[in-house]
Amino acid sequence: MKFTCPKNALVQAIQIVSKAVSSKPQMPILSGIYFNANENILELQATDYELGIACKIEAQIDEPGAIVLSGRYMQEVIRRLPGEEVRLEFNREEKIVNITSNTADFTLLSLPANEFPVIQPMTGNMNFTIRDNILRDLVKKTVFSCSNDEARPVFTGCLLDVNNSEVTMAATNTHRLSVKKEILDEFNGSIKIIIPAKVLNELLRIMVSEIPTNVKVNCSYNQISFSFDNVYLTSRLIEGQFPDYKRVIPPEFKTNVKIHTHDFLSAVDRVSLISRAGEYNIIRLNFSEGKVLISSNNPDIGKAEETVPVSIDGPDVTIAFNAKYVTDVLKNIDGEEFYFSLNQSLNPAAVKLENDDTFTYIVTPVRTAQ
């Protein structure tokens, strides 16, 4: 194997696949990146068996072949090479790879390529295409609501529910719920699967191109793949039944409050400096007389309060939340203003956007003394 390619393209491809390189690999080969050179295309792959990422770049292939190299060292070495081009040559007898770029000359030991579990393109029978900005929006507005608790796997992923052209993504950790709906250009089947949050966060990280693109999604009962630009990402799915989240969305709210997102978010951020040291990070919101009084209290530190003008439609409400459950959603929605919809102190509340029925966030309040 022998190829030459632009350094920047190689750095980028390594960055993309490297998130699938195991930090604690089950087998030594999984600490490596697989390089396959063939017909002027260099393909890189990495997998930890749960998540697999492949990325193709153009290269001048002088001799086709496949090798595996340490993910950690490739990332460090290639990034710092002095030249604009990188030349890589495999010495089959010595099982070493020679990498040269301008004045720099590295020789790295290789891992046995035949041991690498090469990612095979999925042949699932459910396929649809979704625009990248729509997929990004579905993920961004829901994935933060997932749980980290591996003991209850269904809460560590997002539900993807496609029904004809209607697509819904939902996530919950049982204390909060995000639901986002979109319309596909076309799809006539139905899918209901749970995708690990980790994989969706990787998608957000990789899918940053400003040029609009289509993402091809392919699903089977236990696997999903996303294919766009030069990237192919595949993951196992989470088994189990996603809870019937629609039941926790209150049918109506008595109080609707219109709030300036940035002012409210900054104030909650400040007030929660005091509550953050406590186990539950509790802030109290008192909606009354055209303003919300945000307060927190920690007997070891002190207390904080701040007032933000709002526009209240309905009865006054005093309610308390885990501050993180309020700030997380506000950091992930766009829009200068949002609506806080409430019933009573112990009833779930909702965060919504103006003139936008596609997004709903439900958060359970906490019971506090007084």
Tokens 């999984």 appear where?
30
**In the complex, least distance from residue 270 CB atom to a second copy, rounded to whole angstroms:** 5
Q: Which of 81, 88, 167, 257 binds a second copy (CB under 8 A)?
A: 81
Q: State the SS3 of 252-288.
A: CCCEEEEEEHHHHHHHHHHHHHHHCCCCCCEEEEEEE
The Cα–Cα gap between 16 and 346 comes to 45
**In the complex, least distance from residue 108 CB atom to a second copy, rounded to whole angstroms:** 4
Q: Which of 62, 80, 246, 290 binds a second copy (CB under 8 A)?
A: 80
Q: Is residue 82 close enough to count as binding a second copy by CB under 8 A?
A: yes
Contact 86, 106 (CB under 8 A): no
Return the bridge partners of 214, or none: 131
Q: Which of 60, 66, 85, 106 binds a second copy (CB under 8 A)?
A: 106
Show contacts of 146-155: CB within 8 Å, 24+ apart: 146/171, 146/172, 146/173, 146/197, 147/172, 147/173, 147/174, 149/173, 153/238, 153/239, 153/240, 154/194, 154/238, 154/240, 154/241, 154/242, 154/243
Q: Is residue 91 close enough to count as binding a second copy by CB under 8 A?
A: no
Q: Is residue 267 close enough to count as binding a second copy by CB under 8 A?
A: yes
Stretch that binds a second copy, among 107-115, 176-184, 238-246, 281-289 (CB under 8 A): 107-115
Q: Is residue 308 close enough to count as binding a second copy by CB under 8 A?
A: yes
**In the complex, least distance from residue 29 CB atom to a second copy, rounded to whole angstroms:** 16
**Which of residues 14 and 184 has its CB atom nearest to a second copy in the complex?**
14
CA dihedral for 331, 334, 335, 336, sign (positive or negative): positive
Q: Is residue 109 close enough to count as binding a second copy by CB under 8 A?
A: yes
Residues in contact with a second copy, shown as a per-residue x/- string from 160 to 189 under the rule CB under 8 A = ------------------------------
Residues in contact with a second copy, shown as a per-residue x/- string from 32 to 71 under the rule CB under 8 A = --------------------------------------x-
**In the complex, least distance from residue 128 CB atom to a second copy, rounded to whole angstroms:** 44
Q: Could you tell me which residues come within 8 angstroms of residue 49 by beta carbon, excluding any fewer than 6 positions away?
A: 26, 30, 117, 236
Q: Is residue 273 close enough to count as binding a second copy by CB under 8 A?
A: yes
**Which of residues 46 and 274 has its CB atom nearest to a second copy in the complex?**
274
Stretch that binds a second copy, among 194-202, 306-314, 330-338, 348-356 (CB under 8 A): 306-314
For 329, the enclosing helix (H) or strand (E) is helix 323-332
The Cα–Cα gap between 21 and 18 comes to 5
The Cα–Cα gap between 87 and 3 comes to 6
Q: Is residue 73 close enough to count as binding a second copy by CB under 8 A?
A: yes
**Which of residues 167 and 304 has its CB atom nearest to a second copy in the complex?**
304
**Which of residues 191 and 273 has its CB atom nearest to a second copy in the complex?**
273
Instruction: Give the number of residues in contact with a second copy, rule: CB under 8 A.
Output: 32
How many H-runs (helices) and E-runs (strands) does the chain carry? 6, 26
Which region holds residue 232: left if phi is over 0, alpha if psi is between -120 and 50, else beta? Answer: beta
Q: Which of 50, 58, 76, 84 binds a second copy (CB under 8 A)?
A: 76
Phi/psi for 313 (5° steps) reads -120, 100
Stretch that binds a second copy, among 14-22, 50-58, 102-110, 194-202 (CB under 8 A): 102-110
**Which of residues 93 and 357 has its CB atom nearest to a second copy in the complex?**
93
Q: State the SS3 of 59-78.
A: CEEEECEEEEEEHHHHHHHH
Stretch that binds a second copy, among 35-43, 122-130, 168-176, 267-275 (CB under 8 A): 267-275
What are the C-alpha distances in Å from 7 to residues 10, 13, 43, 88, 298?
Answer: 5, 10, 15, 11, 53
**In the complex, least distance from residue 277 CB atom to a second copy, rounded to whole angstroms:** 9
Q: Is residue 270 close enough to count as binding a second copy by CB under 8 A?
A: yes
Contact set with a second copy (CB under 8 A): 70, 73, 76-77, 80-82, 96-97, 103-109, 266-267, 269-271, 273-274, 300-308
